[in-house]
Amino acid sequence: MLTRRIVMAGALASPLVVRRAFAQSATLSVNSALTDDDPMFNGLRAFKEAVEKRSGGSLRVNLFPSSQLGPDEDVLEQARAGAGVAVLVDGGRLAPYVHEFGILGAPYIASGFPELRKIATSPLFEGWTEKLRKASGHQVLSFNWFQGDRHLLTNKPVTTPADLGGVRMRTPGAPVWLETIRAMGATPTPLPWTEVYSALQLRAIDGAEAQYPAVWGARLYEVIKNITKTGHINLITGLVGSRAWFDGLSPEQRTILRDEALNGGDVGSKATLASLDDFEKKLRAAKVEIATPDLTPFREATKVVYDKLNYAALRREVDAAIAG
């Protein structure tokens, strides 16, 4: 009888132990410029579901598509202040804090998602993550969210970099993006993504550059006539939040967030890759002319970006991480 009571007491105590491990409840609000029908959003949904399930509900995740919480830069500032927010963001926007992150947006840095994922899960990258925690107070949860290769969107055909002379092309404001577009021959024009459609419609800009899912989600096929498949930037992004908020969680909760951010990135990336052919078909059906140019002149033109932004030596380290 005594043995039975001890066993029962142990069984009753176990849930209490579990609840105590996750005693602190917390909510993470995730902002993204993506629309909720973007294939990458499947990854965010998977992240939300898995985090809430594994944490027994002690961690809640709210998703905000279409930049509902504001521009990426604003959300990054909220994260620096310790807010429970995170944002899917490219490395260029983190480069002002840690220079190395900018190389993730450099032209032709990798060949496809497998190589990008090797970079984002390497010891080299983890060192950048630690530097970011100290430099800006940001916490990288994972950086394996591949949104596709970015192409040129214009109202005139583009065959070589020379065709981009005088073209005002929207791009994010990070130096690596600006210098890449400038090296390709266009005039970089920073604008929030949400303003691109109207800017093209009003001819405030002459072109933009983006990946297929974003082009479709923003309905840019209504205001551009040509897509040139340069693939000049392999858009890998990361889920980045607040170090202070993250460090306030239990060790178990921190592990869950990082594990499921990596899993969610894989889910979203695979969904994106599976969607690209279908998006191209839909864009062609929408009367957009899609051309694949000789990439050699574009690759040659953009090599200068690595020297100009002091990434030449770092690229060799990245190449080694890919090969390793």
Q: Given this model, what pLDDT does residue 77 score?
A: 97
- How high is the pLDDT of residue 7? 36
Q: For 96, list phi and psi in degrees, rounded to 5.
A: -60, -25
Convert the pLDDT of each residue in 191-230 to its tens digit: 999 899 999 999 999 999 999 999 999 999 999 999 999 9
Compute the distance between CA of residue 4 and CA of residue 6 in angstroms, rounded to an integer: 5
Low-confidence ranges of the chain (pLDDT < 70): 1-23
What is the structure's pLDDT at 8?
36
Question: What is the distance between the alpha carbons of residues 205 and 244, in angstroms, rounded to a whole number?
Answer: 40
Q: Environment class of residue 191 by beta-carbon count within 10 Å: exposed (0-12), middle (13-18) or buried (19+)?
A: middle
Residues 6+ apart with CB under 8 A from 273: 113, 146, 148
The CB density around residue 39, as the number of other CB atoms within 10 Å, is 24
**Is residue 153 within 8 Å of residue 224, measured between CB atoms?**
yes
| 8 A C-beta contact, residue 201 and residue 178 | no
Annotation: CATH topology of 26-323: D-Maltodextrin-Binding Protein; domain 2 (3.40.190)
* pLDDT given at position 17: 39
Contacts of 213 (CB under 8 A, 6+ apart): 34, 38, 39, 40, 147, 148, 272, 275, 276, 279
CA distance 161 to 147: 24
Q: What is the pLDDT of residue 22?
A: 54
Cα dihedral 48, 52, 55, 58 sign: positive
Q: What pLDDT, on the 0 to 100 scale, is given for residue 324? A: 87
CA distances 118 to 26, 41, 259, 323, 324, Å, are: 31, 22, 16, 9, 9
197 exposed, middle or buried (CB, 10 Å; 0-12, 13-18, 19+)?
middle
108-112: Cβ within 8 A, 24+ apart: 108/231, 108/232, 108/234, 108/299, 108/302, 109/234, 109/315, 109/318, 110/234, 110/236, 110/318, 110/322, 111/234, 112/234
**Do the strands 207-210 and 138-154 form a parallel or antiparallel pair, or are they unpaired?**
antiparallel
204 close to 187: Cβ distance less than 8 angstroms? no
| Beta carbons within 8 Å of 190's beta carbon, 6+ residues apart | 170, 171, 172, 173, 178
